[in-house]
Amino acid sequence: MKRRSLLFTAPRQLVLAEESLAPPGPGQVLVATLVSAISPGTELLIYRGQFPRGLRVDASIAALSGDFAYPLKYGYAAVGRVEALGPGVPRPWQGRLVFSFHPHESHFVADVAELFPVPPEITPEEAAFLPTLETAATLVLDGSPLLGEQVAVFGQGVVGLLTTALLALFPLSSLVTLDHHPRRRLASENLGAHASLDPADPHSLARLPGLLQGDRPHAGADLTFELTGNPAALDLAVAATGYHGRVVVGSWYGDKTAPLNLGGRFHRGRLRLLSSQVSTIAPELRGRFVKARILAWVWEMLPEISPARLITHRFPLREADRAYALLDREPQEAIQVLLTY
């Protein structure tokens, strides 16, 4: 049979290729994709050509086992229905709704061990948020918020918003977020942020110390998340953090760099910079947390968080170029963009 596959071929260039697809082998199934979510952070780096050359895409995911180099298939949030079974696959898999960490393709063949059955109470669109909410959960685990802490989150894209939604479940003294775009700031407050500020507005930014001051002798956040994807924002995140605070860097900057001032507040304030990334679990947590445990919890949280309300645009796969151009040129208009099949 034939399938349609999205290929990134050069900066700001992509094609929809028609490819032959072999039938499923032993232990495999054929999946027809219904929706796939665009990850605006990582995928825009690929779309813009800002990824580091020669780096493995993701060694932990079979469908993404190659290197970052054009032409490149990417994407890791596909939801579809099983259409055909390979030898040895139990009959109950036929017609099952499944999630896969798989690139944007109309059909794909996968081992059943790599698929996640979608619980009946979860819609395909909600299921497409599984990896993003898993990322947010990993960020929160790495940040380890404590009772009564003051927390700041820089960046309210999809990952930032879902991180805010999880942090809002904690009994924090304050939860302040920052983003340039009004639509995202409103969504942030709807998800539980006590205040959401524009970092480009001096009057708005001047409110931040007061919102994080409380009655402590050292102003600033106890815990700060930098999730903008912009390395220049890391200096602001450091400046917003109080004595002995933690700064969790969840952004992937690709090949982008920026100067970082570590000579003043960072040095004397004993601040800690922590790298967070969803492909692995922090060593100190591995005795109790494994991927399966985190994913099981994320499935339970999807209906509670209701992330589908963050979907602003849906494009058919044949119009994928419009979807990426929107995210690239008009980020103020979009939060979560889905491709439909």
**pLDDT at position 132, please?**
97
How far is the CA of 151 from the CAs of 165, 167, 194, 304, in angstroms? 13, 9, 10, 22
CATH code: domain of residue 215: 3.40.50.720
pTM over 0.85: yes
pLDDT tier at 259 (50, 70, 90 boundaries)?
confident
**Is 248 inside any structural domain?**
yes
| CA distance to 166, 175, 313, per residue, from 223 (Å) | 14, 10, 32
Beta bridge partners of 28: 111
State yes or no: pLDDT of 56 exceeds 80. Answer: no
Q: Do the beta carbons of residue 121 and residue 299 sit within 8 Å?
A: no
Residue 105 belongs to some domain of the structure: yes
Q: Does residue 194 form part of some domain?
A: yes
pLDDT tier, 170 (very low <50, low <70, confident <90, very high otherwise): very high
295 occurs within a structural domain: no
162 and 116 fall within a common domain = no
Is the Cβ–Cβ distance between 78 and 108 less than 8 Å?
Answer: yes
pLDDT given for residue 294 in this prediction:
95
Domain count, the chain: 2
Confidence of residue 55 (pLDDT cuts 50, 70, 90): low
In a domain, 108, yes or no: yes
**Same-domain check for residues 202 and 278:** yes
Judgement on whether residues 32 and 113 belong to the same structural domain of the protein: yes
Contact 167, 175 (CB under 8 A): yes
pLDDT beyond 70 at 215: no
Q: What six digits make up the tokens of 142?
A: 């790495």
Q: Are residues 153 and 264 in the same domain?
A: yes
pLDDT score at 162: 98
Collapse the DSSP code of 167 into the 3-class scheme (helix H, G, I; strand E, B; otherwise coil) and give the result: helix
Among 250, 283, 316, the domain boundary falls at: 283
| DSSP three-state, residue 126 | helix
Do 114 and 29 belong together in one domain?
yes
Please write the tens of the pLDDT for every residue from 281-328.
Answer: 888 988 898 999 999 999 999 999 999 999 999 999 999 999 999 999
Report helix, strand and coil shares of the chain as percent, to nearest 5.
35, 25, 40
Per-residue pLDDT at 103 exceeds 60: yes
Residue 60 has pLDDT above 80, yes or no: no
Q: Which domain holds residue 172?
A: 132-283
The pLDDT, as a whole number, for residue 330 is: 96
pLDDT at 338: 98
Q: Is residue 300 part of a domain?
A: no
Q: What's the pLDDT at 277?
A: 87
**Sequence-distant (≥ 6) Cβ neighbours of residue 255 within 8 angstroms:** 50, 51, 52
Q: Is residue 140 part of a domain?
A: yes
Look at residue 172 and tell me if it is in a domain: yes
Q: Could you read off the pLDDT of 181-207 as tens digits, one per residue? A: 999 999 999 999 999 999 999 988 889
